[in-house]
Structure 1
Amino acid sequence: MFDHKKLDALLASYTPGRPLEQAFYKDAELFEADLALIWQRKWLFAGLSCEIRQTGEWFTVQIGETSVIVVRDRAGAVRAFFNTCRHRGSRICAGEKGKSGAFACPYHQWTYGLDGKLMFARNMGESFDLSAFSLKPVACEVVAGYVFICLSSTPDDFSGFRRRVEPYLAPHGIEDAKIAYESTMVEKGNWKLVLENNRECYHCSANHPELLRTISEFDGPTDPRYGGEFAAKSERDEARWRQVGLPYAPVEEEPVYRMVRAALERGVSFTMTGEAACSKVMGMLPERDVGALRLLRFPNTWNHALGDHALAFRLLPLGPRETQVTTKWIVHKDAVEGVDYDLDTLTEVWKATNAQDQRLVETNQLGINSIGYEPGVYSEQVESGVMAFVDWYIDALREGLAQMPRTVPLKVC
């Protein structure tokens, strides 16, 4: 339960350009409001379609107390359903991933097809209508191999996002690639701190030596620090991409997502030497040196697609001060470990970077927990990305709150 008036007061206390009040990062009631007003309403990155390439392959996604099954059906389409039996509500799929010809509830064996339709329910009588008890569908969209879901019965329009980002993503061939390695960590910090940390590189020079071997602390002409030799290299790379028809210009029309193809400062890949981590070029790319295509979408994903591999990051909130962060390293489907790529070389930079970010987020949370915490002020020069996220977050809460009934407290299911 959550009191609307309390949330109203906290929203009214927000000052643009300053971090959020302490309650937004540690209060259990505020976490429930986040789940109800953002995570149960907005499009969320769930995973990759190449993870469920074959008929019947599935994975689950946990958002708060709600589990969702994402599956490849018999027609080859990717579908999503609430992981809840229509009989008495038991969870159907207990694991994180698997392959099934059908979904059988372990409690009373009600059995559903890969299209969600109820196929079998024993001892229910001749008048029982199977068609009235299909699994409840979850809105699901696939964009160039990236799977997004929305728990809302009235999801926001997805077509504009698809139209803008698909031409950038498609050449990388993510839908026809494979996962070379996957890691999941639980960071002892609020989900917003994880995303805020991702949205700035103010901390990079002191904390990410491996990552800065290849990337710049800024990614393009919209950053006030852009200039010098990196700008000159970017212009040369962009001229090359323009010749082969590879999109690169920043996509920043809507606050919920951002995309840009950024030149690497050195080398062609996220490795300690800057050399390619995989010998096979991704998808239909014309060459290996295509910079780093960066896709961000609030509230839970950031991605890097390079010429030789790609990285997909997904965060999921576990509690007011716990967040699950999953990283997937993606390579060409025909790439062979030990022949075309070395796993340690492929993963070394971002394993180190993830561990460093985990330490920073957890230290940040510990400081915010203190009675001595008071919101400071952001740097407009190097923390504009954080400000953009926090503004989006506040607007999303206000929008969600405006759509809730005002006569009763907010109830999170």
Structure 2
Amino acid sequence: MTPTQAVIDLIARRQPRHSLPRELYSDPDVYRQDLEQLWHRDWVFAGHTFEIAKPGQYFTLQIGDYPVAVVRSKDGQVRAFHNACRHRGAKVCEHERGKAAKLVCPYHKWTYELDGNLLFAGNMGADFDKTQYGLKPVHVEVVESFIYVCVAAKAPDFESFRTAVKPFIAPHFLDHCKVAFTSDLIERGNWKLVFENNRECYHCDGTHPELMNSFVENLSVAGVGSEDDPELAAHWARCERAGMPSKLVMDIHGRFRMTRIPLSAGAVSYTLDGKPAVAGRLDQSGEPDIGALLYFNYPSTWNHFLGDHALSFRVLPLGPNETLVTTKWLVPESAVEGVDYDLERLTKVWIATNDQDRRLVEGTQAGVNSPSYEPGPYSEVAENGVCQFDDWYCATMLERLRGPIPLKSVG
């Protein structure tokens, strides 16, 4: 049996509204197919435009097999390249982030312009044609400061996502923000377990005491959503009157979702007392309580936007049982640490929540790896979101491995 057919058979074994078979969380051949069918083909959230505000600034990331560098070029454009020298393949940008007038390979000093064109290659002879050896470009798109990249030869559609997400993010003016703090957390668990954990709050009351001072999961929007919840409908109406799009928008295939939810009574931010962590506002709506805008875009990101700050989360697979989760706290660019915000107060809730989630994911991975593991049923009340993620994963993988099939459900 081929590895492709083996993965098809594993997905076909999944019972409706149940967690996935063991091998889908742990088998190296499945992980290889996850990379080839999803991570190497889809748009992946890389970072924010304000992280590379000036020409020459860059950051790097690893998407499966592909090292990528994202650079601000001299013309102000955001560009992305395969981070491999066209000489012998060494990484051109060695560091996680930096600033350079030119991109210089550390191995043999081949030198590239910020637009990827090769400028200098010593000892290559008079007949060497530099124009044939520029850095290989990576597809890049920007929407409201969010930089997405795709390492595939041909990138999939981006416009449907851009059209859906732009109205939600635009009122938060992220182009005028900066990163106040970054957390990189390696979780010893499969990337799907990381996302499953994010897509439900069944575990929250018993695990996240800091978060639950302000966050309240709204089950109406966990799966496909419903406007039957009067509190949610009233919150949407109030926010939309203030110019803040709020009603649930979800891709027909379930790949992305945006919606705004109310926080607990009296809370307006993710702090222990629910009060703002940052002086001033991201938005100009005039509405003091906009709750939290939540958006995810599989397979690489989920996000939270509040009145005073925002958080972006990036997921990158490192191996069958290892995932990098990067969290960035975003504040107005004019905000001064120690004056407009206290860094510990700003980050305390989600630093604690992320570490609690890490322990849950790692414990789940250990249990899933056991030969005794059997997939269990999802709650029809509290786990529609995680079921929706698994439905999306299975349908997308099967479509790409064997051709189009309909989704079983999106609930």
Deviation at 1:127, TM superposition (A): 2.5
* Superposition map of 1:6-405 within 5 A: 6-218=6-218, 220=220, 231=229, 233-254=231-252, 255-266=254-265, 267-402=267-402
Would you say the 8 A contact 1:45–1:149 is kept in 2? yes
- AA partner of residue 296 (structure 1): F
- Cα gap change, 1:78 to 1:252, in 2 (>3 Å): same
* SS of equivalent to 1:313: strand
* SS of equivalent to 1:315: strand
Cα shift readout 1:262-287 (whole Å, capped 9, x = no counterpart): 11123110001110000121154434
- AA partner of residue 198 (structure 1): N
Instruction: Name stretches of at least 5 consecutive residues in structure 2 with no aligned partner.
Output: 404-411
Equivalent residue pairs, number: 401
* SS of equivalent to 2:302: strand
Would you say the 8 A contact 1:311–1:329 is kept in 2? yes
Deviation at 1:119, TM superposition (A): 1.1
Would you say the 8 A contact 1:224–1:381 is kept in 2? no
- Cα gap change, 1:282 to 1:89, in 2 (>3 Å): same
Deviation at 1:65, TM superposition (A): 3.0
Deviation at 1:176, TM superposition (A): 1.9
Deviation at 1:75, TM superposition (A): 1.3
Would you say the 8 A contact 1:211–1:349 is kept in 2? yes
* SS of equivalent to 1:6: helix
Cα shift readout 1:38-67 (whole Å, capped 9, x = no counterpart): 110111111111111111110001122321
- AA partner of residue 373 (structure 1): Y
Would you say the 8 A contact 2:227–2:233 is kept in 1? no
Counterparts of 2:203 and 2:249 in 1: how far apart (Å)? 24
Q: 7-16 or 232-241, which moves further after superposition?
A: 232-241
* SS of equivalent to 2:251: coil
TM-score (norm 2): 0.93
- AA partner of residue 357 (structure 2): D
Cα shift readout 1:186-244 (whole Å, capped 9, x = no counterpart): 1111110000000011111111111111121216467799899xx55544433332222
Structure with more contact order per residue of length (Cα contacts < 8 Å, sep ≥ 6): 1
- Cα gap change, 1:337 to 1:387, in 2 (>3 Å): same
Identity of aligned residues (%): 47
- Over the residues paired in the alignment, what is the CA RMSD in angstroms? 2.0
Would you say the 8 A contact 2:223–2:385 is kept in 1? no
Counterparts of 2:125 and 2:226 in 1: how far apart (Å)? 71
Deviation at 1:14, TM superposition (A): 2.2
Counterparts of 1:193 and 1:362 in 2: how far apart (Å)? 9
Counterparts of 1:159 and 1:87 in 2: how far apart (Å)? 35
Cα shift readout 1:90-116 (whole Å, capped 9, x = no counterpart): 111111000011111111111111111
- AA partner of residue 356 (structure 2): Q
Counterparts of 2:397 and 2:5 in 1: how far apart (Å)? 13
Counterparts of 1:9 and 1:80 in 2: how far apart (Å)? 37
TM-score (norm 1): 0.92
Cα shift readout 1:123-155 (whole Å, capped 9, x = no counterpart): 222222211111111111111011111111111
* SS of equivalent to 2:240: helix
Partner of 1:407: none
Counterparts of 1:237 and 1:45 in 2: how far apart (Å)? 29
- Cα gap change, 1:63 to 1:162, in 2 (>3 Å): same
Counterparts of 2:88 and 2:372 in 1: how far apart (Å)? 48
* SS of equivalent to 2:246: coil
Would you say the 8 A contact 2:235–2:261 is kept in 1? no
Would you say the 8 A contact 1:281–1:288 is kept in 2? no
Q: 59-68 or 1-10, which moves further after superposition?
A: 1-10
Counterparts of 2:195 and 2:166 in 1: how far apart (Å)? 23
Deviation at 1:261, TM superposition (A): 1.1
Instruction: Name stretches of at least 5 consecutive residues in structure 1 with no aligned partner.
Output: 404-413
Would you say the 8 A contact 1:187–1:358 is kept in 2? yes
Counterparts of 2:64 and 2:30 in 1: how far apart (Å)? 13
Would you say the 8 A contact 1:288–1:308 is kept in 2? no
Would you say the 8 A contact 1:219–1:263 is kept in 2? no
